[in-house]
Structures are given as structure tokens and as C-alpha cells.
Amino acid sequence: MDDLISVIVPIYKVEKYLKKCVESILEQTYSNLDIILVDDGSPDNCGDIIEEFRKKNERIRTIHQKNGGLSDARNSGIKIAKGKYIVCIDSDDWIEKNMIEVLYKDIINTNSDISVCEFVEEDDLQNILSAKKYNNEIIEFSSKEALKSLIKQDILTNHAWNKLYKASLFEGIEYPKGQLMEDVSTTYKLFEKANKIVYQNTSLYHYIQRGTSILGNITEKRINDQEFAFFDRNKYLMEKYSEFKEIIELDNMYNVKTLYFLAILGGYKNLYNSTKYAEYYAKYKKVYKENRKNPEFKGDKSLQLFYKNRIAYKMYVKLKRKIKGN
């Protein structure tokens, strides 16, 4: 008999998206599922919706708790999970019918502890915002190779979703309660604990970008939490894996630039003064020029996005000046 897989869905203010999410789970070709829907104190009708689903399907269990945030809800589901494996799905997203089956087969066939698939970014109307062409290639990573890819952001990503985990990996590991960018602070710990990670470049997860305003998502807390998550992770990895020193320094400089850009857009310029940014930018530019032809950095998203974001910043400054001039 196929192993039991627990599906964890944290839920908060997603009434518009919830039914599609849950239905995509119920329609999975892999049927031996322990589906845990966690109502994180949602003020809309989400609580009633998941109870209706529970009454109609015996595989569903529900939790109703006081709002504690995404990490707290996810942790609550993981704590009561009965499956040998765990998959996390955000409640405003949805998955292809064969996602869990594909991830499970990959994890079994390669004797891995974590299985990863690709994803498609869509807006509320299911217009594709970001998608790539894939050839169903399967790549196996050792723990150290996976960590390196996570830092470089060339193949593997920090997202909690789009992955199937061996449940035992979560022993002693929780998502940090109350922190944004919680997956950045957690995924590397799971990768480090795993013996092998398998990746298939097939898009099976649909990530929904809600809302139309980037500025609406930029808060001082997001900037501070993003800074802590990346730099705390990189500090740990730098101390333990000296061979990652160059790519971690590159990632740190890219993160400083990104944080400054977010601070400017969100109106929190005081968080990253221009002097600090200029110093890091100059250092980063030098590192880029020295390493852009180095095979070690080929495909590194930090390098790819560097000048793109610089151009975006210049465009923003010009637009701001134009608005002030009118």
C-alpha cells in the first residue's frame, strides 16, 4: 500500500480562493492523503467552508485556532500529521492533479528525503506572470549540493510549498512564529538534515500573486524580517561551510541591494541610508565584473537580476522626479 501523505493547508482570509485549493487536493491521483486544513482565526467564511469539506470527505481533518500567523498555522498542522511524508500548500494556490503522485514517485525511485517540482506564477485571473519551458528533467542533489543551489537560487528555491518532505525531517524544526520570510529561515535546515533531494523541472504547483500593487506588500516589518532571514541563514552557512564563502558574500550583497530598493519603494529610506547602499553597490559591482564569466556563477539569479533591478531603480527615480516636476 502507498504511504500516507499529510497535506498541510494554513488558512487565513482566502475565501475567494479556498474552494479551488481544496478541490485540487481532493482531485489528486494519489489518494492516500491525510488532509489537514488549519483555520488560523480567519474572520471571513473560511472556517465554515472547510467544515463543509470535512463533512463530505473522511480524509479531511480541521483545526480552528486563534490567529497566530502562517508559521503558527503550518506548525499546528505538522504537529498532528499522521503521514510518513508531508506537503505544504498555501490556501490561495492550487496544484495539478498529479503533483503529489509525481513528487512521491520521485522520492521513492531515488531514495530521497525531499522531492521538489517547479511552479507557475499567476495573477487572480489565472494570467501567467512567470513560466518556463521544462523537459521533465530529474536532478538529484546531495544535502550540500542542495544548500549551494539554494544560496545561488539557480534551481532550488526557499518556498515551503512545491516540495514533499519526509515527515521525520521536521523533528526539532519549526517555522518561526510571527516572522515573514519564514521559509527562508526553515528550508535550509530541512535541506541540511536530508540525505538527498530530488528535483523535477515540471511545473505542477500554481502560485497565485494576489493584488496588483507591489507597494502594498512593502512594510517595515517585511524589510526587517527579510534582512534577518537571509543574513541569519547565511551567517550560519558561512560558519559551517567555508567553501560557500564566495557565493554567500555575493548573495549578501545582492540582498542588501534588494532591501534598499524595497525600502525606497515603500518609503522607508531611513532603514537603508544612501551611503551604506553606495558602498555595498560598489563592492557588488566589482565582484560581478570579476566573476560574471566564472562557471561557478553561471546561472546565478543574483547576477542575472543585478542590473535588471538597477535599471528598475533608475526608472523609479526618473518617474519620481517627473511626478514632482508636474
DSSP string of 63-118? Answer: EE-----HHHHHHHHHHT--SSEEEE--TT-EE-TTHHHHHHHHHHHTT-SEEEEE
pLDDT of residue 249: 83
pLDDT bucket at 151, cuts 50 / 70 / 90: very high
Dump pLDDT digits (tens) for 83-121: 999 999 999 999 999 999 999 999 999 999 999 999 998
- What is the number of other CB atoms lying within 10 angstroms of the CB of residue 244? 18
Selected residue with higher pLDDT from 59 and 259: 59
Average pLDDT, the chain: 84
Report how far residue 197's alpha carbon sits from residue 199's, in angstroms, rounded to the nearest whole number: 7
pLDDT bucket at 299, cuts 50 / 70 / 90: very low
**Residue whose C-alpha is closest to residue 260's, from 287, 279, 242:** 279
pLDDT bucket at 303, cuts 50 / 70 / 90: very low
Q: What percent of the chain has pLDDT over 90?
A: 61
Q: Which residues pair with 196 in a beta bridge?
A: 142
Q: What's the whole-number mean pLDDT along residues 181-210?
A: 95
pLDDT bucket at 122, cuts 50 / 70 / 90: confident
- On whether the CB atoms of residues 147 and 238 are closer than 8 A, the answer is no
Domain boundaries, the chain: 5-208, 215-325
DSSP structural state of residue 1:
-
In sequence order, what are the residues at sequence separation of 6 or more whose Cβ sits closer than 8 angstroms to the Cβ of residue 87? 5, 6, 7, 8, 100, 103, 161, 163, 164, 165
Report how far residue 191's alpha carbon sits from residue 177's, in angstroms, rounded to the nearest whole number: 20
Q: What's the whole-number mean pLDDT along residues 237-260?
A: 84
Which CATH superfamily includes the segment(s) 5-208? Spore Coat Polysaccharide Biosynthesis Protein SpsA; Chain A (3.90.550.10)
